[in-house]
Structure 1
């Protein structure tokens, strides 16, 4: 999301889905606890031979299930990082608030988190972010022919938001001047279903995901965007030398991918257009 990013209540059960990108290069136990190991690049990971990446499904097209496999824009980017480290990416589906609070790192559930997450000063207090890798903003989606074109058109109506996201924050900040009621959903899929069913008259979420949803659901449309100037970052454990090294490696990988065209290829694969310059 933006604060995207989203996901929430549900089980904390981890669904581990692996995409193999090369030979696992791992060393011996580093003595820091269950299964941790230092790989050939000198980065210690939670599980030997794996780069465990937390996310909160579903957040199409950034992370979502296609059959039994998790795919998406963020997944492809983190595959590049895993390949650089000689590891396999293993995806862990977990509550979004556990990611942004840093709890997933304290409990050693993952090495990094890629969940369409907007970089904010408040979140920086709990986690370390990579350099920005994606520009985003908030957008309003409604049923076609609803006559709603903006927040003012929602006066006396209901606006859906996803919990713990920047979209929720934006909606709360503007409800007083526009006179709508905010309805909070646990995740993107239930929020969008609320628009389809008429439970809410519109919904706010990150532009990338709502445009993707409208494309797949032609009875809906995105009527406006809000210039919130958000940027996504990959999350890591704060104040930890090993996590800082992993973040630096991630920054190097994304920078190289932008330089050699790989980033644009991945962007076009998921969004159908070239990445902004």
Structure 2
């Protein structure tokens, strides 16, 4: 975990198709407006739960553990909101582009969404973002014995990217400059496995999940990082008074958690260190 700890207060995008996983999960049929109701002045898709959309897995932000539970950093942060509302937290997994396009909110499938979502002007045209809660950057995943140290070594080679992510945008932007060909994968699991299997020589994506993958797979390594100055936010319905009330409440809770140490506790639980330890010197 040493290399991951040394770099990781920057991180982010997804995997496995739109299935519902774990005891925290909620079937889409259960997300009907029939069960909706108001809790403390905020309308919820399910009056008994905070319904959260994501795209699983995205370890360590959200993934299914050995017991079948959906857990992770984002899960714990949003649990602060669920607990404050006095309801349980239910997680629904679906295609990532359905989340960033706001289709899930238009269909009333969830109250809020998570997934290490980088805040971008383009996405902000479709969704309402919370205040930034995490810093991220891009990383290059390779095999340890590949000899690849950066994008300079990728000329004439194949680079894996995940669709609809900021890593894909970064990779495409520099493809002509470095002479590599991008290969698009639908989710993070397929992208990282492709490197292990030799289908591509490297992949680019948010550094948190890629460091986690390298940690879990000893033959893999992070060759380089690219500081893109990204920040994560939670997502909700845009131009909606109810969603704004929900996000304002979430922002207040996150700010409080940073003041009273709860944010640091959750951060250390999932990343093995405190945010301040990574921020020194930046």
Same fold flag (TM > 0.5): yes
| CA RMSD between the two structures | 1.7
Asked if residue 18 in structure 1 is aligned to residue 18 in structure 2, the reply is no
Kept after mapping to 1: 8 A contact 2:21/2:92 = yes
Match of 1:44 in 2: 43
Kept after mapping to 2: 8 A contact 1:163/1:185 = yes
CA spacing shift, 1:182–1:144, aligned 2, 3 Å:
same
Match of 1:5 in 2: 13
**Scaled by the length of structure 1, what TM-score is found?**
0.91
Match of 1:179 in 2: 179
Match of 2:140 in 1: 140
Structure 1 residue 33: Cα displacement:
4.1
Distance 1:228 1:182 in 2: 19
- Provide structure 2 residue ranges, at least 5 long, that are not aligned to the other structure: 1-9, 26-31
Match of 2:257 in 1: 257
**Scaled by the length of structure 2, what TM-score is found?**
0.89
Match of 2:273 in 1: 273
- Provide structure 1 residue ranges, at least 5 long, that are not aligned to the other structure: 20-31
Asked if residue 65 in structure 1 is aligned to residue 73 in structure 2, the reply is no
Match of 1:56 in 2: 55
Distance 1:195 1:105 in 2: 34
Match of 1:129 in 2: 129
Asked if residue 115 in structure 1 is aligned to residue 141 in structure 2, the reply is no
Distance 2:158 2:266 in 1: 36
Q: Which has the higher helix share?
A: 2
Runs of 4+ in 1 over 6 A off after TM superposition: none
Structure 1 residue 51: Cα displacement:
0.2
Distance 2:137 2:23 in 1: 29
Kept after mapping to 1: 8 A contact 2:11/2:207 = no
